[in-house]
Structure formats: structure tokens, C-alpha cells
Structure 1
Amino acid sequence: MARNQLGVLDALDVAKTQWYHFTAIVIAGMGFFTDAYDLFSISLVTKLLGRIYYFNPDSAKPGTLPPSVAAAVNGVALCGTLAGQLFFGWLGDKLGRKRVYGITLVLMVVCSFASGLSLGHQPKGVMATLCFFRFWLGFGIGGDYPLSATIMSEYANKKTRGAFIAAVFAMQGFGILVGGIVALIVSSAFDHAYNAPPYSVDRAGSTVPEADYIWRIILMFGAIPAAMTYYWRMKMPETARYTALVAKNAKQAANDMSKVLNVDLEAEEEKVQKIAEERSNNFGLFSREFARRHGVHLVGTTTTWFLLDIAYYSSNLFQKDIFSKVGWLPPAKEMNAVHEVFRIARAQTLIALCGTVPGYWFTVAFIDRIGRFAIQLMGFFFMTVFMFALAIPYHHWTLKPNHIGFVIMYSLTFFFANFGPNATTFVVPAEIFPARLRSTCHGISAACGKAGAIVGAFGFLYAAQGKKEADRDAGYPAGIGVKNSLIMLGVINFFGILFTLLVPESKGKSLEELTGENEDEPSQTELSAARTVPE
């Protein structure tokens, strides 16, 4: 038990679920809704961008983005996200969670809107401005990861903390789903309004001019939900754990949480001062003491997130290619550009509705019952199983009667990603590190995840250059082919199982018990054995 635990933190740990918990979930969650919408909506319009800006009048084929341009358009936001996670994670520990929180949202709103206004008379100009704004959009999105997770973990009580953090992250599923729905509505409206021909080109030899509005509207829509929550995000008080344990302001922490919890709390200034003087708790990120207490855990959170995102983002970004390969999407020459967007959005919306969104909310329901460790291990295991089940008899799934079975099993990989490591890798780093390093360590873990996403996005795209152009047109996401790509992802998920063994269980304990703060001699054994937390 924490020797010097503050009353205000005890009050937060034992507080019953109240309205402010749900308010915090919605405020933080809308940021993640926007994050997912912005990051994944680009995969809905990349083929359209190729048709509009890279049409070759001397070719009978629809235009396609060159591999280098496709890699940049798909991956530049991920690069910005990685940088934002590191920068804003560090800044959140230096300046406070709330002071930095508004900056990330403003970046997301402005750059999301600006992405749809990408200007230029030539394709290179349009793609360059699009990539510029999407990098800074990603930078803002990156800041949302450590700040939202840390704020939610520091507001929550210890019994339902996992569910609250997971609920924030679960809004990502709705962002992916709404992205598909918006694309369906916009493309359907234009498809019917202009009665586009069934082929990819019009009489002028290029995609209908109105198609240029579609991708811009889809990308710009992401600014709306983020802008709607700015006022409420700025109204949130700073978390008591930052105010008391990092800023050393006991009076402010007590005042803020008295209003939030509707109780009278004492400002324990002497106890805060005593905690501040404890040398054993003042170690830095690069110290031997941090390495001894939390080094293995940081290795665990970074490696598992890295491996998970290679599989998760590559699967998401290349759904359209896999759908083409199994026949869910007809060849591009059989559809006009507008209808192609509709068909891609419809397929991705079905995957999100049937697999992605339910998986997130299963995690919310069970994470505080069966624990983070069990859910993460189970998720990686089933992702491995389903990837191999798709890959080994791959030619069986490409036969037309088996296409539905393929899509069902493919959906199950997303279900167990989200009822598994995609949620838990976000939750755990917000719980097991000290308050003054919590946002930084979460940012480092998340940045390693985005490094994995970049490997998935750039690596698979550049591998496509090693394959014959006819094969790429047929729908291969990589030069090694769909089958071998799925095998590789299965192997990556298997390694995720192994590295999960380095991650401690955090169910049912206060943050201070997990981190060893406010104790005489924090026990490393207690953390390492935390998977056996009694009910």
C-alpha cells in the first residue's frame, strides 16, 4: 500500500462511476474518432487520386498513383504522428496535460480542413501540398495518443480504469466506420447526380471533373467532430495526479477534484512536500533506477505496439487491394472513378461494422474482468491463427464460392486485433509508468507503434515495385504476393505473443501501486508478479 498516498488520489481511486467519467470519455474519445477518420480515410481515396491526377491518355487503363507518390500519400501522416507522439508526450509531462491538449486539437482541425484544399496546377503540386498538410495533421493526431490516454487514466477509478481508457480508444472504431459512411454518401451523391458512365473515363479521356470534389469533401469532413469538442476540452481541469505529484500544488489539486467529484477534499500540502523530497522517486527516464524498475516494461510496451501496428495498419491500408484480389471489387476498367470509391467504401464499412467496432467494445466490457495481459495474449494468438488460416489455403479462398468465407475470416482478424492488442497496447502504457514520465513513456510506446505502421505502409508499397505491373494491377499489395504477405503478418503476430510476456498486468491496482510512487521501497517483484492480481 502506498505509504504517502494523498487523499485526493484515494478519492479518485474509489470514486463511483459518475457523469464526469462519461464526459471525459466523450471529450477525449472525439479526438480519437477524428484520429481514426483522418488516418484511414486516405485509403478510401488513393485510387481516385490516381485516376484524377495520373491518367495517361495513351493508355487504356485508369490512372494509378506511382509507387513513390502512393507511399508518401499513405505514409506521411504516420510519420507526422510518430513525431507528434514523441514531442507532445514529452511536453505533456513538462507543461501539463491540459495545457498541451488544446494545441493538438487545433492542429487536427486546421490541417484536416486544409488537406481538402490542397492546391496546385500540376499533380506534383497537389500531392505535395496534400502531403504537407497530412504530415502536420499526423503531428496533431500523435499528440492526442499520450495525452488522451494519460488524462483518462489519471481521472479514472482503479476498478474501471481499463474500461474507461479502452472506451476512449474504442471511438477509433467509430471514426473508421463513419469514414466509410461519409465516403458512401458523398460518392453515391456524385455518382447519381452526374450519371457517370460505367467505364473509368469520359469522352474527354479523363475522369469526370466533378470527381475532384469527392476526395476533398471526404478529407475535410474530419475537421467537424474535432472542432465540436474544443470548448469542452479547454474546460477540463488539469488532472490531480499531475497537479499534486508533478507540479506539487496540493491546493489546486484538491480544489479541482472537489468540483469534479462534488466532495470536500483537504489540501495536504505537507504530504505533497514530503513526497517531493523522496529521492527514491526522483529518477529520470535515462537513469539506472528507471531501467531497473520499468526498463523491461518499456521494452514490452514498445515492441508489442510496434509488431501490432505492422499487421494492423498494413491490413487496413491495403484492404482495397485484397478486396480486388478476392473479387469483391471489379477491375478498375469496369467502373467509373466515382463508383470505385463507393465500392471500396462499402467493403471497408462492412469490415468495420462486423469486425472492427465490436472488437473495441468487447475489450471495454471485459478488460477489467479478465485483465489486459489475457486479452492481449488472446488477441495476438487469434490474429496469428486467422492470418495463417487465410494464407496457407489461399488459393482456396480466391475461388468465387469462397469469397464470403475469406471476408468473414479477414473480419475476424480485425475483431481480435481490437479485442486484443490494438486496445491493450494503448491502455497499459498509461498505467504502469510514474506520473512525471507517464505521458513521455506512452508517447515513446505509441511512436514505436507508428514506426511499425510506417514499416507496414511504406514497406509493402515499395515491395510492389519488384512485381510485374500486371500483377500490381491485379491487386497484389506487395511484390511477394498476397499469400506470402499474409504469412509474414502471421509470423509478426506470433512474435507479438512472445513479447507480451514482458508486459505486466495492471488490473485492479491504483496507479501509485503500479509505479511504486509514494512507497518506502517500491517493489519490482510486485510489478513483475502483477499478473496474479487477486480479485
Structure 2
Amino acid sequence: MQKKPEGKAAFEELDNMKLSFKHIKIWYTAGMGFFTDAYDLFIIGAILDIFTVYKLPGFQLNPFYEGLLASSAIVTAIIGQLLFGFLADRIGRKKVYGVEASLLTAGAFLSGLSPNLAWLIAFRMIMGFGIGGDYPISATIMSEYSNVKDRGKLVALVFANQGIGTLVAVAVGAISAFTLPADIAWRVMAIVGGIPAATVIYLRRKVPETPRYAAMEQKKEDLGKSTKFMGVREENQVVIKRISFGQFISKYWKVLLGTAGTWFILDVAFYGTGVYSGPIVSSILGKPVNVGTEIVYAGIPFMVGFFGYFTAVGLMDKLGRKLIQIQGFLVMAIIYAIVSAVMISSGVKVIGFTIPVDLAFAIYALSYFFIDFGPNTTTFVIPAEIYPTSNRTTGHGISAAAGKTGAALTTYLFPLLLNEIGVKNILDILAVLSVIGVMLTYFTIKEPKLKNLEDVSEDRVEIQQEVK
């Protein structure tokens, strides 16, 4: 055996292949979990609206249980992100792929059948565990199967299923609230979110181990299956060196601070304003006449954000991840500061604006476009690229868990903050956090655009071939 010449890419055929149906199949297989994630982010707010207005037997809320119900799935998602991220680096992506989709599907269906609030919280915790596990594995599988030219848009496209999930959630929430009795409407809302994830459980179990992980474990049969699955031929014997967790932390701690810190900041804003979009929008536009209208009002910013997801997809491999993330955080900070500045408040209550209300609401809704055409997408994409193969799902899982920690804190505390400091001061806090996000991105994140995974992650690779 002898080493191949320096500079030869380890997975050259895979990196250079054109975008194909195989990539699209992996995208669909990987993306449906994120449909459920975003669907649940919006729909739990709609369910909370129903419980608050109709005070259904067994589902009556106080501030404590409202925060617990809103954050229960997020808390267990943190555990899922860490555990599945760790396992996928230790025993393989394939061995755990599909398990997380099964959990989130079961949790969604059972949530809709819950007899009381305690069971609903418990089943949502199961769903959250599955949603959490989906983050590091689906992102990494898409990344490790992608070609270099389209990797950013493909990983972003997996995440963009959140945009589709949000639109479906708005439609299902509004239609259910307008047409069904309250005790049936919320159950339909809960169950529908699990259907897309259920369609990919079988497909996930059939996806071969990724070529990068197979090369690291030196499993030639798995490597052959993965390259055959993609329709490429790899003549090289590729060996990717594993590094320990301690070595990973020692070498990548600064990058980890950047990916985890920016994701934490993003989710404080995204989940706080997302789950409680209804009360925030109502504070601007006024209280709607019924729950269905409130759901539609709350969904308007998400509809604006939908276009942000796909703008990010289209420009990810042109502008680069770092630039998109910086401009997103920067515009978020500006928008939060503007909306807060034009608010006229009395204590915690918003009583008017110095500009027309419709204009203030339009500016606020625009923040969702730049959240999604910005750090909401890039914080998902970047960790799937810049960490070494041996710790890629671990690094992604830690980063995602930091984000969900921010989401859990803000989701649980938001009802209290709305009552204690009001929307105006919350927006001021989010503006400051967004500026910190700009600084963290600039100083800690490196740009992976148009680089192969082995180069950008600084994996140690040996490429060998038989001497004839």
C-alpha cells in the first residue's frame, strides 16, 4: 500500500458529483423531523390559546403549568440532542437513525390522546426527546452525503422543512379552531404534526452508513454500500483518524463556544417570540375577537419567515454561512430596537405607537424573515460541517442543546416576563443579545463554503491505493 499524492481529496467523486435524485431522497428522509419541530413550535401556542380561553376539564392552566407545558418538549429535546449526538459518533449514524423519528411520531400521536394535562406534558416530553435526537443525526447525514458545491443548500433545505411545518401548523390550527369543538380541535392539532415524521421511519432505517463514518471505522463493506447508494465509485482506501472527546474539546473549544453560543442566543429570540407570538402580536394589533383569529394573527410573522428559509437555501453556497448569520443577527437587533423605540407603554402594557400600528407590526414581522434568512438556518448548517467526523454529531448535539437550553429558559420565563417587564423591555433585551450574536459569529466561526468536509473540519485523513 502507498499513500496517494498530497492534495487528493478523500471523497473526490462524492464531493464533485452533480446534484441528483439521491441527494433529494436523503433530503426528504432527513427533513420530515424538522417539519414536526416547527409545527410543534407554533401549534403549542395555539393549543395554549384554546386551553386559556375554554378552560377544558383536566386542562386548566396557571402560569406554572402554562410554562411547563410550553417548555416540556424543549427540555427533553436537550437530552435527545446530547444523547443521540454522542451515540451517533460512538456506534454509527445508521444504528440510531429512525429511532428518533419513531419517538417523535409516537409522542405527537399520544399527545393528541392525552386524558389530562399531566399526560399531555409526559407525551410531549417523549416527542421532544425524538425531536432533539433528530438534530445532530439528520444534519450530519445530509452533510456527509452531500457534494461540496451544494452542501450548504442541501443541509439548509433539510432545516427549511421547518418553514413548511409552520405554514401547515397555521392552517391546521386556524381551520381546527374555526370548525371543530375546542376539546377536539386541540387534539387534531397535536396529532397532525406526527404524520410526516411517520412516513420516513422506514426510509431512515434503510439509509446506509455514511461514507465518512464508514471510512473512520474502516468498514469496507459499509463504505461500499454508501458509495453505491450514491452511484459513485471510490477506488481509494480512505482512513479517517478518530480523535478522543478530550482532544476534540482541546482543539475545537473556541469553535464550540461560537456554534453553541450563537444558537443559544438565536433560540432565546426565536422560541420566546414564537411560542408566545399570539400575546405579542395581540399587544401590537389588539385582542382578536376569537381564538381562530388569534391563531391567524400569530401565524403572520411565521408566514413572512417562510420566505427567509428558502432565501437562505438559495444563497447559502453563494454568500456563505458566516455572512448570512452576521447580517441576520444585525437586522434582528435593528428591528427589535426600532419596534421597542416606537412603542408607547404604560407599565407592562402597550398603549400605542409613534408610527401607524400596521407599520409597527410589519416591521416586527420582518424580523422573522431575517431570523430564518440568518441564524435560525446557519446555526443548524455550520456545526454539521466544521467538526471532525469522529465528533461531528457530538459537536452538533452540544450546539443544538445550547440552543434548546435558551429556548427552554425563554419559553418557561416568557409568561412571567410579559407580566413583569412587558413586551417593550423584552424587545430591548433581544436587541442586545442579537448584537452579541454578531460578535460571537465574527470572532469564532470559520467559513466552510465550497470546502470539502475533511479540509474544513481538519480531519486527519490517509488515502491509500494498492500498488500494481
TM over 0.5: yes
Within the candidate set 423, 428, 436, 2:382 is matched to: 428
Map of 1:293 onto structure 2: 251
- C-alpha separation between the residues in 2 aligned to 1:504 and 1:416? 21
Opposite residue 192 of structure 2, the aligned amino acid is: F
What code does the residue aligned with 2:294 have? I
**1:315 correspondence with 2:273:** yes
Partner of residue 59, structure 1: none
1:100 aligns with 2:122: no
Quote how far apart the aligned CAs of 1:399 are.
3.8
Whole-Å separation in 1 of the counterparts to 2:379 and 2:139: 11
Q: Is the 8 A contact 1:3 1:518 kept in 2?
A: no
Whether 1:484 and 2:444 are equivalent positions in the alignment is: no
Q: Does 1:382 align with 2:384?
A: no
The reply to whether residue 24 of structure 1 matches residue 26 of structure 2 is yes
C-alpha distance after superposition, 1:499-528 (max 9, x if no partner): 1121111111111001222359xxxxxxxx
Distance 1:228 1:326, change over 3 A: same
What is the match of residue 118 of structure 1? 114
Match of 2:199 in 1: 228
Which of the two has higher C-alpha Rg?
A: 1
Q: Kindly tell me: are residues 265 and 328 of structure 1, through their superposed partners in 2, closer, same or farther at Cα, counting changes over 3 Å?
A: same
Pairs within 5 Å for 1:184-195: 184-190=174-180
Equivalent residues in 2 for 1:76-475, closer than 5 Å: 76-119=72-115, 126-190=116-180, 210-245=181-216, 247-261=217-231, 263-266=232-235, 268=237, 271-272=238-239, 275=240, 281-287=241-247, 290-330=248-288, 335=289, 339-340=290-291, 342-353=292-303, 355-395=304-344, 399=352, 402-463=356-417
State the SS of the aligned residue for 1:395. Answer: strand
Measured after TM superposition, the shift of residue 3 of structure 1 is 6.5
Structure 2-normalised TM-score? 0.92
Q: Which has the higher strand share?
A: 2
**Counterpart selection for 1:516 from 452, 458, 468:** 458
Distance (whole Å) between structure 1 residues aligned to residue 302 and residue 371 of structure 2: 12
Amino acid at match of 1:250: K
Q: Distance in 2 between matches of 1:4 and 1:100?
A: 35
What is the identity, as a one-letter code, of the residue corresponding to 2:280? I
Q: How far 1:38 sits from its partner (Å)?
A: 2.1
CA contact (8 A) 2:71 2:412 kept: yes
1:15 alignment partner AA: M
For structure 2, list consecutive stretches of 5 or more residues without a partner in the other structure. 463-468
Contact map agreement 1:298 1:445 (CA 8 A) in 2: yes
One-letter code aligned to 1:236: V
Q: CA deviation at 1:143?
A: 0.4
Residue in structure 1 matching 2:449, options 493, 501, 507: 507
Specify whether residues 238 and 478 from structure 1 end up closer, same or farther in structure 2 by C-alpha distance, changes over 3 A only. farther
Give unmatched runs, 5+ long, in structure 1.
56-62, 120-125, 191-209, 276-280, 464-476, 521-535
Q: How many residues align?
A: 453
Match of 2:465 in 1: none
Q: How far off is 1:327 after superposition?
A: 2.8
Q: Which residue of 2 aligns with 1:495?
A: 436
**Contact between 2:98 and 2:202, CA under 8 Å: does it hold in 1?**
no
Partner of residue 473, structure 1: none
Deviation of 1:382 (Å) = 0.2
Contact 1:87/1:143, CA 8 A, preserved across alignment? yes
What's the CA shift for 1:264?
Answer: 3.4
Counterpart residue number, 1:53: 55
Q: How many angstroms apart in 2 are the aligned matches of 1:320 and 1:519?
A: 51
1:392 Cα offset (Å): 1.1
Q: CA deviation at 1:25?
A: 1.0
Letter in 1 for 2:271: Y
Per-residue deviation, 1:233: 1.9
Cα offset, 1:488, TM superposition: 0.8
**Structure-1 separation of matches of 2:259 and 2:98:** 27
SS of equivalent residue, structure 2 residue 148: coil
Tell me if the contact between 2:41 and 2:271 (Cα under 8 Å) persists in the aligned partners: no
8 Å Cα contact 1:372/1:507 also seen in 2: yes
Q: Distance in 1 between matches of 2:136 and 2:307?
A: 24
Q: Secondary structure at the match of 1:65?
A: coil
In 2: Cα distance, 1:282 partner to 1:211 partner: 54
Match of residue 14 from structure 2 = 12
Secondary structure of the residue that 2:98 maps to in structure 1? helix
